Amino acid sequence: MKVHWLAGVALALAVLLGPECLMAQGYRGEFRVAGSFLELRGLERDSLPEGVVAGDGIRRVLDDGTIVSCIPGEFCRWFASVDEEESISVVTQDLSLIAWPGIRGLSANVHLRGRYGTDSFWPRSSQELDAVTAYLTYDRADFRFRGGRIARTSGLGYYNFDGGSVLWRGLEPVRVEAFWGWGLARGLNATRDGDLLEDADDFAPDKRARIAGFDVNARLGQTVSGTFTYQREMRTDRAALYTERMAFDARALVDRVTVDFSADYDFAYDEFNELQLRASAPIAAGVRVAGYARHYEPYFELWTIWGAFMPVGYTEGGGTVLWSVPGTMLNLEGGGAYRSYEETDAGAEFLGFEEDGWRAHGRARFEHRGWFADGIYRAERGSGAARYGGDLTVGYEFAPGTYLAARGSSTQTFSEFRLGEQVTSGGGVEGAWRIGDFSLTGSLSGYSLSFDRARVSDWTQTRGHIGLAYRFGSNIGGGEGGYR
The mean-pLDDT minimum among 84-93, 115-124, 365-374, 413-422 falls in 413-422
- Pick the range with the lowest mean pLDDT from 49-63, 226-240, 268-282, 313-327: 49-63
Gap between the Cα atoms of 161 and 424, Å rounded: 40
For residue 400, CA distances in Å to 44, 329, 404, 470 come to: 47, 17, 12, 16
Q: Is 429 domain-assigned? A: no
pLDDT at 280: 98
pLDDT at 469: 98
DSSP 339-393: EEEPP----GGGTTS-SEEEEEEEEEEEEETTEEEEEEEEEEEETTEEEEEEEEE
Peptide bond into 173 cis (omega under 30): yes
* Cβ-based neighbours of 71, under 8 Å, separated by 6 or more: 50, 58
pLDDT in tens, 238-279: 999 999 999 999 999 999 999 999 999 999 989 999 999 999
CB 376 within 8 A of CB 390: yes
Q: Residue 5: what pLDDT?
A: 42
- Model's pTM, two decimal places? 0.83
Q: Do the bridges between strand 287-296 and strand 271-284 make them parallel or antiparallel, or are there none, so unpaired?
A: antiparallel
Neighbours of 482 (CB within 10 A): 12
Please tell me which of 116-120, 406-410, 458-462 the model is most confident about, judged by mean pLDDT: 406-410
**What is the tens place of the pLDDT at every residue in 40-59?**
877 788 899 999 999 888 88
- Look over the chain and give the mean of its residue pLDDT values, rounded to a whole number: 87
Per-residue pLDDT, 84: 79
Residues of 437-465 as b/e, b for ≥16 C-beta within 10 angstroms?
eebebebebebebbbebeebeeeebebeb
* pLDDT at res. 349: 52
Among 284, 274, 358, 349, which residue's Cα sits nearest to residue 313? 274
pLDDT reported for residue 182: 95
Looking at the DSSP assignment, which residues form a beta bridge with residue 293?
277, 317
192 within some domain: yes
Percent of the chain with pLDDT over 90: 61
Average pLDDT over residues 391-408: 97
Quick check: is 285 in a domain?
A: yes
Q: Is 303 part of any domain?
A: yes
User: What is the Cα–Cα distance from 143 to 406, expressed in whole angstroms?
Assistant: 51
- If DSSP codes are grouped into helix, strand and coil, which group holds residue 432? strand
Instruction: Please list the helix, strand and coil fractions of the chain in percent, rounded to the nearest 5, in that order.
Output: 10, 65, 30
Predicted pLDDT at 353: 62
Instruction: Evaluate whether residue 152 is within a structural domain.
Output: yes
In this structure, are residues 78 and 68 in contact, taking their beta carbons and an 8 Å threshold? yes
In a domain? residue 94:
no
Per the model's pLDDT, the better-predicted residue between 480 and 472 turns out to be: 472
For residue 129, being part of any structural domain is answered with no
Give yes or no for residue 13 having a pLDDT over 80: no
Of these ranges, 6-15, 114-123, 271-280, 447-456, the one predicted with the greatest mean pLDDT is 271-280
Non-local CB neighbours of 138 within 8 Å, separated by 6+ positions: 105, 106, 144, 145, 146
Measure the CA–CA gap between 160 and 133, rounded to whole angstroms. 8
Neighbouring C-alpha atoms within 13 Å toward the C-beta of 450 = 8
Confidence band for 7, pLDDT divided at 50, 70 and 90: very low
Is 259 within a domain?
A: yes
- Beta bridge partners, 81, equal 43
Q: What is the pLDDT of residues 167-189, one digit of tens each?
A: 999 998 999 999 999 999 887 88
CA atoms within 13 Å, Cβ hemisphere of 404: 1
As a whole number of angstroms, the distance between CA 467 and CA 34 comes to: 4
Domain that holds residue 233: 141-311
Percent of the chain whose pLDDT exceeds 70: 89
pLDDT average, residue stretch 85-106: 92
Q: Is the confidence at residue 326, as pLDDT, over 80?
A: yes
CA distances to 110, 244, 299, 315 from 270, rounded to whole Å, are 38, 10, 12, 18
Q: Which long-range contacts (CB under 8 A, 24 or more apart) does 121-124 make?
A: 121/86, 121/88, 122/88, 122/89, 122/90, 124/188, 124/196
Query: Does residue 476 carry a pLDDT above 80?
Result: no
pLDDT digit string, tens, across residues 104-161: 999 999 999 999 999 888 877 877 888 999 999 999 999 999 999 999 999 999 999 9
What pLDDT band is residue 355 in, cutting at 50, 70 and 90?
Answer: confident
Q: What are phi and psi of 119, to 5 degrees?
A: -60, 140
Domains held by the chain: number: 1
Higher pLDDT, 455 or 307: 307
SS3 assignment, position 186: coil
pLDDT above 60 (res 483): no
Residue scoring higher pLDDT (457 or 107)? 107
Q: How far apart are the C-alpha atoms of 483 and 292, rounded to whole Å? A: 39
CB 217 within 8 A of CB 154: no
Q: Which of 153, 157, 103 is nearest to 133 (CA)?
A: 153
Non-local CB neighbours of 435 within 8 Å, separated by 6+ positions: none
Close Cβ partners of 208 (under 8 Å, ≥ 6 residues apart): 182, 183, 191, 192, 193, 235, 236
Residue 475's pLDDT band, with cuts at 50, 70 and 90, is: low
